[in-house]
Structure 1
Amino acid sequence: MSTRTARRRPAAAPRRRPVRRAPSRRTVVRRRLVAILVMTVVTAVVCAVWFTPVLGVREVEVRGVVEMTEVQVLEAAAIEPGTPLVRVDTEAVAARVRELRRVAGVRVERVLPGSVRLTVDERDPVGVVLAGDGAHLVDATGRDYATVAQPPAGLPELKASGAALDAAVGVVTQLPEALRREVLVVTAGSPSGVRLTLSAGREVRWGSVADSPRKAAVLEVLLTREGEVFDVSSPELPTVS
């Protein structure tokens, strides 16, 4: 019986971890100088942006004005020239501009390198309230926002006040454009007593602002018939007389 002699492989020598050399003094000094330089530059940039007029306001641009003037908006905005752009409080500027009666909304934007842009949305009238001092323009929210000497053409006169005025405005804003052009006067003694005076002496008893789209659809059909008084206060049972 033969025997085989197994040859033993020599054990592998343990791997030595590479010895990390400590950075030289020159390298350490260089790194510290670079860090200090970066911090200095960042600090200088922050100071320039926040506390100097380098990136300050040089121009205030006004867009969207029609009936108003740019001067009115600029005076209300009250943005000091040279104010660092990042320190312009856009919310505060917008709040000041919205205090103008004709302004429905405004967007304030910072534009690099040194501009502020104000985009104004003016109110649109849906009717007028005639008074001794002129024609008061009323917008879709029911706000009396301006007084002019003569009422603009094509706007109905609103004979109402308080909650009744809100109801009258609510009815007008929900009328189809073709029907709205026929309305001369909107009268409301109460929120549930809205009446429309149309061209050719026709009268519409509307009632409250509720179901206004449906009432408008019914009225358009009724107006094809002969009559002077059209009652759609109950759109399920309209009448013509």
Structure 2
Amino acid sequence: MSAPVRGRSTRVRPANRRPKSAEYRARRRVILRRRLVALLTVLSVVGVVYCVFFTPLLGVHQVDVRGNAALTEDEVRAVAAIETGSPLVRLDLQEIHDRVAGIPRVAAVEVERQLPGTVRLLITERTPVGSVKLPDGYHLVDATGKDYAILPAAAPGVPELGLTLPSSSDPATRAVVGVVNDLPEQLRPDVLAVAATTGADVKLTLSGNRVVKWGSAEDTKRKAAVLLVLLSRKGTTYDVSSPDLATVS
């Protein structure tokens, strides 16, 4: 009888099972592939961010000025001081707004980014309600009482304002501007000049050498309505400072 053989093992591997080393390599390839995709994604995001924020790729190539009339586009661009090639997304729009809004003729401004490389400046210029004759020329005054520009000749289409020194903080200026702002359209063509030395002695000079004593800027619409009726009567002086006791002489 033969003795059993020691030290030998007969283990049968299932036919449908791959070696562990093959499974490990397969899992390793999947992991490496995922890591590579993640790395490429991160690098792509970093590249896009770098191009957008730190290169001229999406930089400023054009400053588009709209709404200007008396101001030239170059004047506005010079004050806006937007450097060509500056990354569009890094622009300080409020700072640009404040610089352009500081131009005396500018009443309002909007600053917009427009991809891929345009900054648009939408300008609203001040509109004169009158001009004040001073030694250095005719000062334009807007509806807020701001003295914002000087012309060598009187501005056409607006009355001359008889003021010593126009200022939005001056009672006489506020009274004169307040009256002019509230005048009805049918009366405006006849108004040649509006003057005051205080806030309560506004006087209008009309065509045909007619004078209107207006008083303060209060009840301007009522005074205007009364004046339109009085103008149907002949006279040189019309007093509507007290509209309930208006007179013609």
* Residue 151 of structure 2 corresponds to residue 133 of structure 1: no
Shift of 1:203: 1.1
Q: Counterparts of 1:50 and 1:87 in 2: how far apart (Å)?
A: 7
Q: TM-score, normalised by structure 1?
A: 0.86
Shift of 1:151: 0.8
One-letter code of the match for 1:55? L
One-letter code of the match for 2:127? D
* Residue 246 of structure 2 corresponds to residue 238 of structure 1: yes
Q: Secondary structure at the match of 2:244?
A: coil
Shift of 1:34: 2.2
Report the structure number with the largest CA radius of gyration: 2
1:119 maps to 122
Q: Counterparts of 1:152 and 1:136 in 2: how far apart (Å)?
A: 9
Q: Counterparts of 2:70 and 2:248 in 1: how far apart (Å)?
A: 42
Q: Secondary structure at the match of 1:75?
A: helix
Q: Counterparts of 2:215 and 2:88 in 1: how far apart (Å)?
A: 54
Kindly report structure 1 stretches of 4+ aligned residues shifted beyond 6 Å. none
2:59 maps to 56
* Residue 104 of structure 2 corresponds to residue 96 of structure 1: no
Provide the aligned C-alpha RMSD in A.
Answer: 1.5
1:5 maps to none
Shift of 1:153: 2.1
2:162 maps to 159
Structure 1: runs of 5+ lacking an equivalent: 1-22
Q: Counterparts of 1:38 and 1:213 in 2: how far apart (Å)?
A: 69
1:172 to 170, 180, 185: 180
* Residue 223 of structure 2 corresponds to residue 223 of structure 1: no
Q: TM-score, normalised by structure 2?
A: 0.84
Task: Name whichever of 137-146 and 151-160 sits farther off.
Answer: 151-160
One-letter code of the match for 1:233? S
2:8 maps to none
Q: Secondary structure at the match of 1:92?
A: helix
One-letter code of the match for 2:219? D
Shift of 1:26: 3.4
1:35 maps to 38
Q: Secondary structure at the match of 2:187?
A: helix
Q: Is the 8 A contact 2:130 2:155 kept in 1?
A: no
Q: Counterparts of 2:110 and 2:94 in 1: how far apart (Å)?
A: 9
One-letter code of the match for 1:67? A
Q: Per-residue displacement from partner, 1:152-177 (whole Å, max 9, x unpaired)? A: 22221111242201210110011012
Shift of 1:32: 2.7
Shift of 1:28: 3.2
Q: Per-residue displacement from partner, 1:61-114 (whole Å, max 9, x unpaired)? A: 111121111111011000001100001111111111111111111111111101
1:13 maps to none
Q: Counterparts of 1:121 and 1:154 in 2: how far apart (Å)?
A: 19
Q: Counterparts of 1:48 and 1:234 in 2: how far apart (Å)?
A: 70
Q: Counterparts of 1:173 and 1:167 in 2: how far apart (Å)?
A: 10
Q: How high is the sequence identity, in percent, across the aligned residues?
A: 54
Q: How many residues align?
A: 219
2:19 maps to none
Shift of 1:214: 1.6
2:220 to 187, 192, 212: 212
Q: Secondary structure at the match of 1:66?
A: coil
Task: Name whichever of 175-184 and 75-84 sits farther off.
Answer: 175-184
